[in-house]
Amino acid sequence: MAAEPSNARTMSDLMLRVAEKLGIAEYRSTGQLHIPIDQYNFNLCKRYINNGISMFMADSPPKGWRWMRRLMSVTFATRVAGTVDAADATSMTDLVLASTYDTNDDLNDWYVYILTGTGTGSYARITDYTASTGKCDVTEWLDSDGNATGTTPATDDTYAITSVATDAGDNAKYILPANFSGSADGVIQYAAGSNRSTPIDWCDEAEIRTRRTPSIIGGPPRKAAIVPYQPVDETLSQTRLWVLLVDPRPISADTVQFPYTLYFDSMDMESGIATAGADTTLTDSARSEADDYFNDWTLEVINGTGVGESATVTDYASGVFTVNLTTTPDTTTEY
C-alpha cells in the first residue's frame, strides 16, 4: 500500500497554522506552539478552515477536481429472518438459527435488525454467536441513527440478520457512505469477476416500489435507484445519507460499482481540559455530547501531563473518554 504523501496536512496541522496566522496560538511549557484551548479562539480557527475548504472546492476547474471523482463499491448481503425467543440488553436468541448456522461464530460481525414488536427500529452488530442455542451477543442496541438509545427487543419480536450493514435489515437497501453526494455519475455494473452478465439499469425509485408492491422477489438485481435515507422510527433523519435501492432482492454476495462525485463534509475537532484521569480514561465534566459521540476519534494531549501522546477513543459516555494513553492524565492535561 502506498504511503501517505509527506506533504499531507491533518486537521491539527491546519488548526495550528491558522492560530499562528491569527496570533492566537498557545504555547507548551517547552515553548512549542499548540492549538488554542480557549473555546472562542478554537472555534474561530475551525470556522476559518471549513470556510477555506469550501472556497477551494468551489473554485474548481470547469470539469471539477479529479480527486473528487470516485468509484463506489457496494457488496450485497445475504439475509435470514425469524422470531425472537428471548432477548435482553446485550443479546437475542432464536433456537431456529441453530439449524442453519450450526457452528459457533458463524454470525459474528453480522447485523441484526428488529423489524416489528417492542424493539422496532433497533439494531446491533453481533459480537459473538453460540450455535447450540442460536444466541447472538451484542454490545448494545442502537437506534436507527446509530445512537446508543435503542430499545431492547422482546419475545415474539421479528428480526432480520444481514451479512453487511443494510437499511433496516432489507438487503435490497444499502446506506451509502457519508461522502456520497446523492447522485451517480455513470452506469452501475457488476464488479469484475462477478460472473454476472445481467445488466443493471438506473430507474426512478417509484418503479422499484411498484415492482415490490405485490411481492418481493429474489434474484440478481436488474434495477437500481438512489433515495434519501429515512429511518423507520422518525419523521426526519438526523443525517444526510443516501440509500442504494435494488430489485430484485439480492440472493448472493455480489458487488456492484458506479462512479460518483465525492461530497466533502466539514472537518471537525474539539478541545478541552481534563477534570480527572485514570489508567484508561480521561474525564472532562464540561462535555455535553451524546454517548458514543467521540467513538473512534483520535484524542491527542497537546499540553500538560502526557503532552504529545495520542490514542483512539474506544468509548465515550457522559464526559468520560475511554482511551489507552501511556501517561495517566490529570487536571493539567489539555487535549
Amino acid at the residue 75 = T
What pLDDT score does 238 carry?
52
- Report whether pLDDT(237) > 60: no
Amino acid at the residue 58 = A
Using pLDDT thresholds of 50, 70 and 90, give the confidence band for residue 234.
low
Q: Are 264 and 60 in contact (CB under 8 A)?
A: no
How far is Cα 195 from Cα 253, in angstroms, rounded to an integer? 12
Span 102-148, pLDDT tens digits: 999 999 999 999 999 999 989 999 999 999 999 999 999 988 777 77
Using pLDDT thresholds of 50, 70 and 90, give the confidence band for residue 4.
low
Amino acid at the residue 46 = K
What pLDDT score does 82 carry?
94
What pLDDT score does 236 carry?
52
Write the burial class of residue 157 (CB in 10 Å: 0-12 exposed, 13-18 middle, 19+ buried): buried
What pLDDT score does 214 carry?
84
Span 35-81, pLDDT tens digits: 888 888 888 998 998 888 888 888 888 877 888 888 999 999 889 99
Q: Are 44 and 22 in contact (CB under 8 A)?
A: yes
Q: Which of 171, 168, 244, 170 is nearest to 202 (CA)?
A: 244
State pTM to two decimals. Answer: 0.74
Span 168-225, pLDDT tens digits: 889 999 999 888 888 899 999 999 888 887 889 999 999 999 988 888 888 889 999 9
Q: Are 93 and 136 in contact (CB under 8 A)?
A: yes
Summary mean pLDDT of the chain: 87
